Amino acid sequence: MGAAQYPEHGSDAETLLKRADIAMYHAKEGGAVQCATSLSICSRS
């Protein structure tokens, strides 16, 4: 699961969705059931 939170991770829907999507793929890379927030991937976006 990926999550992004307004306003910390973006101020518009497009940015929030993009960061949540990136967080989801980041969590999937772990191979197990995981959750990642946009905070852990902000530098990658």
Q: Kindly state the greatest CA–CA separation across the chain.
A: 30
- Counting Cα atoms < 13 Å in the Cβ hemisphere of 37 gives 6
- Between the two ends of the chain, the Cα-to-Cα distance in Å is 17
Interval 6-24: pLDDT, tens: 998 899 999 999 998 988 8
Q: Is 22 helix (H, G, I), strand (E, B) or coil?
A: helix
pLDDT of residue 37: 62
pTM: 0.65
Average pLDDT in the chain = 76
Please provide residue 44's backbone torsions phi and psi, each rounded to the nearest 5 degrees: -90, -15
What are the tokens at 14? Answer: 């497009």
Question: What whole-number percentage of the chain has pLDDT above 70?
Answer: 64
Q: Any alpha helices (H) in 1-45, and if so which ranges?
A: 13-28
